[in-house]
Amino acid sequence: MKALLTAALLTATALPATAFDPANMSEAEKAAFGEAVRDYLMANPDVLIESINVLEERRAADEAKNDQLLVENNREAIFDDGHSWIGGNPEGDVTLVEFIDYRCGVCKRVNPELEKLISADGNIRWILKEFPILTQESDMAARFAIAVQQEAGPEAYKKAHDALMESRGPVNLESLTALAGDLGVDGKAVLNRMNTEEVSAVLRKNHQLAEQMRIMGTPTFIIGGEMLRGVPAEGLEGAIARARAAEAEG
């Protein structure tokens, strides 16, 4: 009975089963068998849990493969778009791309750990992509950071990025004007640039890429050929190690 029940469960959950064919059962046999399956599951719920776990593992594996295809099909826009800030080691053997929202609490929490990881490793190329999706303040902060880069260059951008990540206050014209002064950049020029087509084009391209990649939240990381939708419990080190191993294999 357990063998038949297992075969039925595997069939019901799209797992391979070659020795069980319910189509050849009579209506009475199907009814009896269905009752037996119910009784067995009530007495052994772990069997159903095991089946669900197998399905979840297969679903996750399928999603990972799909994400790898998305990365492969959008490599230029991801790794060499011509407008995103590049830091860490620009010649590093692994590239880490991060989609960020400056009002995202998880992004802010993870940022110090990410900085330490990139600094300690010394061989990670780091790309930041503004992806403001939470609030109007998200959009203002992203526009400010991009405008700083376009007006004052990558070093000023990184200082703006750090300040926006560390900030817990509101984002408005007053706070951004003060921040521009702290950064030593031309605040009037930066604020005037924020709503220009040059800045809007960067955000539009980032949003289009995110849509193509099916990215709907921040932070999202792309490391090598792997996409991480959020921060894994074990951290980012594992994905970096996998990217290096894949590169070594060829």
List pLDDT tens digits, range 11-44.
444 444 455 667 777 887 777 777 777 777 777 7
Residue-range domains of the chain with CATH: 2-73 (no CATH), 75-249 (3.40.30.10)
- Residue pointed to by tokens 């989609």: 99
The tokens describing 52, both together, are: 């669900």
86-114 per-position pLDDT tens digit: 999 999 999 999 999 999 999 999 999 99
- d(C-alpha 221, C-alpha 175), whole Å: 29
**C-alpha to C-alpha distance for 171 and 29, rounded to whole angstroms:** 68
Amino acid, single-letter form, for residue 94: V
Residue 216 dihedral angles phi and psi, to the nearest 5°:
-125, 0
Distance of CA 62 to the CA centre of its chain: 16
Q: For the whole model, what pTM was predicted?
A: 0.76
Distance (Å, whole) CA 102 – CA 112: 14
Average pLDDT per run of 10 along the chain, which is 250 residues long?
Answer: 49 49 75 76 68 59 75 95 97 97 96 96 97 97 98 98 96 97 97 98 98 95 93 88 87
Backbone φ and ψ of 218, nearest 5°: -125, 150
7 vs 25: CA distance, rounded Å: 14
Cα–Cα distance, 233 to 247 (Å, whole number) = 24
